Amino acid sequence: MIYIKLFLVFFKIGLFSFGGGYAMIPFIQKEIIDINGWLTLEQFMDIIAISQMTPGPIAVNAATFVGYRIAGFWGATSATLGVTLPSVIIILFLAFMITKYRALKWVDYFFLGIRPAVIALIVKAAYSLGKNSILGIRDVLIAFGVFLGLYAFKINPILLIALAAFFGILIN
């Protein structure tokens, strides 16, 4: 049944993806496009773009959109529960373990070891999205303008997304 498959696929994504939504993007892409063939790369890119613009965690939004696209309301519900349930279980377990064993040095080493891995996953997601989204000089200029607006001028990201959409329409 598709609902169970969606739940299990997103449960696996939620269980083995550390570092938040951006770090999950490569896992979601592999499962949704490469393994299950539920979406094309272009459809996936659109869902990721929408997931970034809507309130809430990107992985939850992506799971909801993919689930809905594949199997309607119950597909969205299955995928969303699948991607969030591992986090709930892991957080409850870690809260218990950290509270109990925080004084041990290996707990600090564990967190120090995870940080570089999470950064690598985020860089991989940025590279994957970038190579499929930035296809010409126009895209480079828009991306550079948004980056400059964020870091040099501290412009609100929502305003920058709206401006980028406006320029995308204007240029085409």
Residues 76-94 have pLDDT tens digits of: 999 999 999 998 998 899 8
Confidence of residue 149 (pLDDT cuts 50, 70, 90): very high
* pTM score: 0.61
Task: Report the alpha-carbon angle 127-133-135, nearest 5.
Answer: 105
Sequence-ordered list of residues with C-beta below 8 angstroms from that of 54, at least 6 positions apart, any chain: 61
Q: Cβ(10)–Cβ(30) under 8 Å?
A: no
> Which of the residue ranges 21-25, 116-120, 122-126 would you say has the lowest mean pLDDT?
21-25
Confidence of residue 168 (pLDDT cuts 50, 70, 90): confident
Longest dimension (CA), the chain: 59
Sequence-ordered list of residues with C-beta below 8 angstroms from that of 8, at least 6 positions apart, any chain: 82
Please report, for the chain, the start and end positions of each structural domain, with discontinuous segments joined by +. 2-133, 135-172
Distance (Å, rounded) from C-alpha 88 to C-alpha 93? Answer: 9
Residues 124-134 have pLDDT tens digits of: 888 888 888 88
Average pLDDT, the chain: 88
Distance (Å, rounded) from C-alpha 152 to C-alpha 172? Answer: 27
Coarse DSSP helix, strand, coil percentages of the chain, rounded to the nearest 5 percent: 85, 0, 15
